[in-house]
């Protein structure tokens, strides 16, 4: 079937056409188009996403994004079989734009529509192979299936979750953040250090640069907390870590002035990133061991982090050699609508049905 995925939960206006076939155990996906219109320039000056401005930009962009997705896929609107739209979680004004555009399309085209949990999209993104326009619309490569049970680490700007998956339609939340999400902590720390929004990429780049400046004269030893690392459950807390960086930078400002030297910023970013990675990995591995996970999955914007990927892969190789790690490509780790289309396919296979009348923003 041909699925139109729509995603407007945060600051990216996304539409994607995905061809899906196969059973829940052996699904096959082919991305025919995957359009992401980023609003980063709008929100950058505020250091975070402004919900009302995000909604206004979604409203402006959504029809051009639809047109681009259909054109790139060489598919006509009437050819789609299903509309799959993120209906939660996210910013209410932003979600309203995507959900109501989707409902209007579903009504006009007389097509079924399903409301999708954004985090389920991140959980299935590893199945997708990035492509542009297909050579043949009928050719569907085998998406690699995984063995269950699987443990998923879903880390985004708004959420940090550990899920236990019995299959692609049975995902149980076993742990989550009690306060800030991992991505939010990256964004706030970046802001404290004068780095641009979104904070993940510049903080990761500064951390990587630290290795090159290790011989710098102004070297300081920084140790940040690893909150809840040994709490025995699968929950997280990142607000204390964020506050620890705030106090540290306030102290350092007294010595170095308003703008901290680059090597000091690099040191802070490296230790902050390592603290986040240590906590995320420790909980993910503990869950994988406890539930005898055959597969570990990661997804969400923070899973684009190269150190997180490298260290998780290393620890799984040593500590759980029989477990397979599934990682989405960097582009598909970030918000996109192809993952929402794929999650919609699983819901459809699971028997879920809907019309424009029963899809609503769910918060």
Q: Measured from the CB of residue 80, what is the shortest distance to Zn ion in angstroms?
A: 23
Distance CA(263)–CA(188), nearest Å, equals 19
- Interface with ligand KG4 (CB under 6 A), residue from 27, 121, 157, 344: 157
Q: Which of 174, 193, 167, 200 is nearest to 276 (CA)?
A: 200
199 binds ligand KG4 (CB under 6 A): yes
Q: What is the DSSP letter of 26?
A: S
Q: What is the DSSP letter of 232?
A: S
- Interface with ligand KG4 (CB under 6 A), residue from 33, 305, 323, 347: 305
Q: Which is nearer to Zn ion, 271 or 335 (CB)?
A: 335
Distance CA(142)–CA(116), nearest Å, equals 24
Q: What is the DSSP letter of 293?
A: -
Q: Which is nearer to Zn ion, 93 or 112 (CB)?
A: 93
Q: Which is nearer to ligand KG4, 11 or 263 (CB)?
A: 11
With CB under 6 A as the rule, give the number of residues binding ligand KG4.
20
Out of Zn ion, ligand KG4, none, what residue 204 binds, judged by CB under 5 to 8 A for its kind, is ligand KG4
Q: Which residue is nearest to Zn ion (CB)?
A: 156
33, 336 Cβ separation under 8 angstroms? no
Distance CA(283)–CA(288), nearest Å, equals 9
Site for ligand KG4 in 202-231 (CB under 6 A): 204
Distance CA(347)–CA(349), nearest Å, equals 5
Q: Which is nearer to ligand KG4, 140 or 178 (CB)?
A: 178
Q: Which of 88, 87, 31, 99 is nearest to 331 (CA)?
A: 31
Q: Strand, coil or helix: what is 249? A: helix
121 binds ligand KG4 (CB under 6 A): no
Q: Which is nearer to Zn ion, 61 or 86 (CB)?
A: 86
113, 102 Cβ separation under 8 angstroms? yes
Site for ligand KG4 in 158-187 (CB under 6 A): 158, 183-184, 186-187
Q: Which is nearer to ligand KG4, 75 or 224 (CB)?
A: 224
198 binds ligand KG4 (CB under 6 A): yes
Distance CA(151)–CA(123), nearest Å, equals 10
Q: Measured from the CB of residue 34, what is the shortest distance to Zn ion in angstroms?
A: 15
Distance CA(173)–CA(125), nearest Å, equals 18
Q: Measured from the CB of residue 289, what is the shortest distance to Zn ion in angstroms?
A: 27
Site for ligand KG4 in 324-353 (CB under 6 A): 334-335
* Burial category of 216 from C-beta neighbours within 10 Å (exposed 0-12, middle 13-18, buried 19 and up): middle
CA 42, 45, 50, 52 dihedral sign is negative
Out of ligand KG4, Zn ion, none, what residue 186 binds, judged by CB under 5 to 8 A for its kind, is ligand KG4
Site for ligand KG4 in 20-79 (CB under 6 A): none
Q: What is the DSSP letter of 335?
A: S
Q: Which is nearer to ligand KG4, 267 or 335 (CB)?
A: 335
Q: Which residues make up the interface to ligand KG4 (CB under 6 A)?
A: 10, 156-158, 183-184, 186-187, 198-201, 204, 300-302, 304-305, 334-335
């Amino acid at each position: 079937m041909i699925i139109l995925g729509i995603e407007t939960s945060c600051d990216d206006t996304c539409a994607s056409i995905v061809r899906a076939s196969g059973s829940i155990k052996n699904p096959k996906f082919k991305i025919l188009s995957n359009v992401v219109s980023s609003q980063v320039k709008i929100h950058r000056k505020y250091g975070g996403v402004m919900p009302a401005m995000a909604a206004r930009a979604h409203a402006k962009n959504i029809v051009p994004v639809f047109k681009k997705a259909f054109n790139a896929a060489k598919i006509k609107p009437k050819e789609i079989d299903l509309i799959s739209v993120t209906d939660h979680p996210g910013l209410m004004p932003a979600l309203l734009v995507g959900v109501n555009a989707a409902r209007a399309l579903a009504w006009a085209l007389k097509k079924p529509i399903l409301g999708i949990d954004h985090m389920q999209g991140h959980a299935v993104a590893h199945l997708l192979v990035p492509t542009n326009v297909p050579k043949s619309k009928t050719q569907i490569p085998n998406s690699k299936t995984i063995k269950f049970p699987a443990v998923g680490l879903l880390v985004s700007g708004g959420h940090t979750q550990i899920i236990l998956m019995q299959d692609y339609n049975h995902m149980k939340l076993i742990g989550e953040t009690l306060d800030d999400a991992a991505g939010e902590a990256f964004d706030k720390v970046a802001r404290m250090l004068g780095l641009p929004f979104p904070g993940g990429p510049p903080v990761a780049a500064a951390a990587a640069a630290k290795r090159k400046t290790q011989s710098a004269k102004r070297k300081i030893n920084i140790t940040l907390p690893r909150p809840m690392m040994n709490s025995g459950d699968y929950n997280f807390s990142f607000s204390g870590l964020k506050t620890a960086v705030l106090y540290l930078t306030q102290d350092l400002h007294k010595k170095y002035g308003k703008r901290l030297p680059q090597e000091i910023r690099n040191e802070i970013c490296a230790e902050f990133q390592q603290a986040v990675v240590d906590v995320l990995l420790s909980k993910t591995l503990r869950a994988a061991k406890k539930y005898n996970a055959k597969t570990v999955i990661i997804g969400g914007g923070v899973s684009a982090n190269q150190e997180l990927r490298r260290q998780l892969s290393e620890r799984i190789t040593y500590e759980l050699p029989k477990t397979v790690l599934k990682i989405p490509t960097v582009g598909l780790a970030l918000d996109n609508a192809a993952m929402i289309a794929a999650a919609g396919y699983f819901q459809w296979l699971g028997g879920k049905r809907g019309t424009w009348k029963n899809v609503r923003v769910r918060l």
